[in-house]
């Protein structure tokens, strides 16, 4: 399971890095090359977003990528095929990220079964509160897949405990309120929030929303287990292409070219 895979990796490094792609952006061929390049650059986990027309948790960079992928013909079935081929070639955990409308329309048992067959370990569904997630949780657990809960800075400690008990794999700690890609203040408030999250659960903690450079990754070192660099990875890709993205990811992971 995902938690066990993360624990094994943490025996060899004190902080893991997870990046994010939108499947089918800017094309399936290019998103494949981007995913493989990220793996080669040393990422420890990869978040595969199934495009959706109204990605409410995402900022302008990922929002535009979703719209582009959909216009270019991305579909849920194509995304499963992409994940199946990728999982057969890489050795890191893969997580699906999407919105509940996608899962609901596809069918929850079917989604979970196809995700397992595609080699995905977990899913992140940011717009589905646990109070309404009974069927989703049951479908995923029936396929031995993890369901990643989300914490926010304003989540009460008691609710953190409830979310963690219903989820599995890891906890995604949103570094601030708002959407992805905006500026995050790396300060004592974030330190205290992550300490509170650590007290609420024994699951590994991933921190995302606003991590843009090595200094941000270093800030969460010792406070969390996984640094999530999503929008910035795609922004660098848009500006500098595959080579620039690989160099950027290596600056975060410390993996040397050719390693």
pLDDT at 176: 56
Instruction: Give the mean model confidence (pLDDT) for residues 66-73.
Output: 92
Q: Is residue 45 part of a domain?
A: yes
Residue 181 has pLDDT above 50, yes or no: no
Residue 229 has pLDDT above 80, yes or no: yes
Q: Phi/psi at 131 (nearest 5 deg)?
A: -65, -20
Q: Is residue 95 part of a domain?
A: yes
Q: Is residue 152 part of a domain?
A: no
- Domains identified in the chain, total number: 1
Q: Is residue 172 part of a domain?
A: no
Give the residue numbers spanning the domain of 26.
2-147+214-253
Residue 193 has pLDDT above 70, yes or no: yes
Residue 258 has pLDDT above 70, yes or no: no
Q: Phi/psi at 24 (nearest 5 deg)?
A: 90, 0
Q: Is residue 73 part of a domain?
A: yes
- Tokens coding 257: 């070219």
Instruction: Give the mean model confidence (pLDDT) for residues 175-190.
Output: 58
Q: Could you count the other beta carbons within 10 Å of the beta carbon of residue 215?
A: 9
Q: Using CB atoms within 10 Å of the CB of residue 173, give its burial: 0 to 12 exposed, 13 to 18 middle, 19+ buried.
A: buried
Q: Is residue 62 part of a domain?
A: yes
pLDDT at 259: 59
Averaged pLDDT of the chain: 92
Report the CATH number that the domain containing residue 97 is assigned in CATH.
3.20.20.70
Q: What is the pLDDT of residues 161-172, one digit of tens each?
A: 999 999 999 999
Q: Is residue 194 part of a domain?
A: no
Q: Is residue 26 part of a domain?
A: yes
pLDDT at 55: 67
| Residue 122 · residue 93 · CB < 8 Å | yes
**Which candidate, 211, 229, 212, 239, places its Cα nearest to that of 41?**
229
pLDDT at 14: 96
Cα–Cα distance, 213 to 34 (Å, whole number): 19
- Catalytic site positions: 47, 58
pLDDT at 186: 62
């Amino acid at each position: 399971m995902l938690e066990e895979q993360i624990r094994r990796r943490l025996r060899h490094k004190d902080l893991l890095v997870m990046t994010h792609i939108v499947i089918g952006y800017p094309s399936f061929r290019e998103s494949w090359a981007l995913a493989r390049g990220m793996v080669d650059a040393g990422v420890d986990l990869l978040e595969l977003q199934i495009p959706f027309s109204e990605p409410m948790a995402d900022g302008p960079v990922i929002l535009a990528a979703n719209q582009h992928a959909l216009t270019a013909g991305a579909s849920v079935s194509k995304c499963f095929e992409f994940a199946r081929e990728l999982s057969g070639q890489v050795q890191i955990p893969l997580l699906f990220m999407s919105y509940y409308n996608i899962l609901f329309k596809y069918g929850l048992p079917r989604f979970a079964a196809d995700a397992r067959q595609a080699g995905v370990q977990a899913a992140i569904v940011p717009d589905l509160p646990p109070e309404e997630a009974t069927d989703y949780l049951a479908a995923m657990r029936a396929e031995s897949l993890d369901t990643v809960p989300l914490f926010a800075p304003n989540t009460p400690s008691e609710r953190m405990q409830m979310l963690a008990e219903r989820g599995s794999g890891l906890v995604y700690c949103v570094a601030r309120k708002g959407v992805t890609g905006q500026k995050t203040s790396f300060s004592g408030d974030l330190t205290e929030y992550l300490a509170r999250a650590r007290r609420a659960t024994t699951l590994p903690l991933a921190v995302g929303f606003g991590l843009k450079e090595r200094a941000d990754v270093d800030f969460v070192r010792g406070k969390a287990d996984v640094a999530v660099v999503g929008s910035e990875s795609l922004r660098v890709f848009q500006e500098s292409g595959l080579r620039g993205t690989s160099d950027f990811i290596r600056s975060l992971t410390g993996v040397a070219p050719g390693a």
